[in-house]
Chain A
Amino acid sequence: MITVTSAARTKIVELLAQQGRAGLMLRAAVAGRGPGGFQYRLGFVGDEERRADDQATDAGGFTLLVDADSVPNLDGASIDYVDGPQGSGFKIDNPNPLWRDEAARAVQAVLDQDINPAVAAHGGWVTLLEVKDNVAYIQLGGGCQGCGMVDVTLKQGIEVRIREAVPAIREIIDSTDHAGGKNPYYQPAKGGRSPF
């Protein structure tokens, strides 16, 4: 069950009162996991987008829908609205662990403590998408996405450290769209200049 603070409720009702939003509902979902924890998706949807397995609650002035897949990871979370000198926006406090699976928690710990602080020096980050059948699916971003040395980072660094720390992981699969990298740290070139 998600709770909505009075500040968030006031803001959401205010937004729903804007032209063209009458009758819409608020949908909340876990969109993924990133370097800072869960990533969320909040948005207004019409009745035609309501699904049979959605968790629906009356939040006082509007209906809150939660994706069925997201319910366990949002149980006990609260949606707040903050407005201060640092900016304004919705904030979700979530007491749930990032991963419930033991192997996934261990892989996440390697990424948080070992890998991400190091690749941050190259403007990069590594996200764990999921662990399934002892295979870790990861995604690389920032300077790592499309980097000419990504295979070195992956095979000589990420894979080695994860296998050392979590022997149960039998394979690490990089699901990154490297062609979509916008600012890779190292970019390949033809080479051939004399080094000496």
Chain B
Amino acid sequence: MSATTYRAGAFLEAAHRLGLAVTVGTDRPQALGEQNPAGHLTLDFGDPRAATGEIVAFAARRPLRTLVAADDDGVELAARAAEALGLAHHPPAAVRAARDKLATRRAFAAAGLPVPWFEPVRLYEDPAPIAARLRYPCILKPLALAASRGVMRADDPPGFIAAFGRLRALLARADARPERGAPVTEALVEGYLPGAEVALEGLVTGGRLRTLAVFDKPDPLDGPFFEETLYVTPSRLPETAQRAVVAATQAGVAALGLSHGPVHAELRVDQGQVWVLEIAPRSIGGLCSRALRFGADVSLEELILRHGLGQEIGNVERETAASGVMMIPIPARGRLDHVAGLDRARAVPGVTEVRITIPLGQPIEPLPEGARYLGFIFARGSCPAEAENALREAHRNLSFAIQSIGN
């Protein structure tokens, strides 16, 4: 896992509940790494060959039963190391393809899945000739960043040229560059797809998808940016549409060659047509997994660990209650000075938790450049609408004082 992951607590808690000994591999040194060498491994994510070698050497001293990437940043390394150790995992080539939006489009197109028109663009080129030949509206997106970061809609050539410059500047930033080497200079442009957006959380075994949850994203995602806010499950799509979502995800899993491990898919549904936008070879990001409980209070991370260990997870189903999460959007660039209304938000019926994850005094930045969430609101209800309304009501009760800072 990356040292900046949101996911450490959930996976460690799950391991604790399952009584598993864990070694945490991170890209930055941990404060107590030397106090418990069996529990920590500092890895250079920018040097996958060396990092894989370190994991293999570690496993020779302390055998590992499974490797699980907590988030995006560690998943390619986990795949390589798992392959070297002969452990079940999505293969490295499939993971690489799933993490690269251009490679994903090509894999889907080659497999006959519906895809929008798409083409790679080089960000060091003059955008004007590119803008002149595109069809509109279109979407410009980076190849690798997560959670809609850098994804922009353009409705005409001037809009595309502006988005192009903005994405080029974003990808040159230290927090968006690869660990080593030059900034990414390629991006993807593709046709805009209308319709509702849904997400699917699943586990893949031997290439076969098991759906754990389908989330609606009830806030319209029409652009110009694509900030993910609300996730509510179960989906309110008709059964037939949900079956089509599962079938499309299964086809996408096969097209990418994903074979063993968690997947988080994002899809668009429009007039009976399902488009797979992407399938991340990891579980849902941020703290969103807290919205999912299975069987007798089992977490998503417990299921993932048990699956990684080859244990039968049986007929575990998501709880019957509706559940949702809001990733609290960052409304403006500046410094977070104050958060008001937390008690009122927490008191909204159905709301189970409100957590602000950015400390006061810290600089914040909205999409498309921003890489953080203000926090998370969780709610449950007897039906999806009830959970969604609770999330919206809680958010209405919150106010954020953001002090403007210079450019």
Contact = CB atoms under 8 A, between A and B. Distances in A.
B6 A160 contact: no
A188 to B, nearest CB: 4
Nearest to A155: B12
A122 B31 contact: yes
A40 interface: no
Interface string A132-174: 0000000000001010111111011110110000000000000
A157 B39 contact: yes
A195 interface: yes
Interface residues of A, number: 39
Interface stretch (A65-73, A79-87, A89-97, A111-119): A111-119
A195 B73 contact: yes
B4 A155 contact: no
A52 interface: no
Contact of A157 (B32, B146, B184): B32
Contact of B4 (A148, A152, A161, A196): A148
Interface in B145-162: 145-147, 149
Contacts of A148: 3-6, 8
Contacts of A22: none
Given A124-B31, A194-B99, A187 B12 contact: no
Nearest to B27: A195
Interface stretch (A25-33, A54-62, A101-109, A178-186): A178-186
Contact of B178 (A151, A156, A193): A193
A55 B171 CA distance: 66
Given A152-B8, A188-B372, A190-B147, A179 B32 contact: no
Contacts of A179: 355-356, 359
B141 to A, nearest CB: 12
B35 A188 contact: no
B34 interface: yes
Contacts of A191: 2, 4-5, 71-73, 146, 285, 371
B6 A157 contact: no
A192 interface: yes
A196 B76 contact: yes
A194 to B, nearest CB: 4
Interface stretch (B40-48, B204-212, B213-221): B40-48
Contacts of B13: 151, 155
Nearest to B4: A189
A41 to B, nearest CB: 25
A196 B176 CA distance: 12
A190 B371 contact: yes
B224 interface: no
**Residue of A181, A182, A194 most packed against chain B (CB within 10 A):** A194
B331 interface: no
B187 interface: no
B362 A187 contact: yes
A122 to B, nearest CB: 5
B36 interface: yes
Report the 4 A-B pairs with minimum CB-CB distance, sorted nearest first: A157-B32, A192-B146, A151-B9, A156-B39
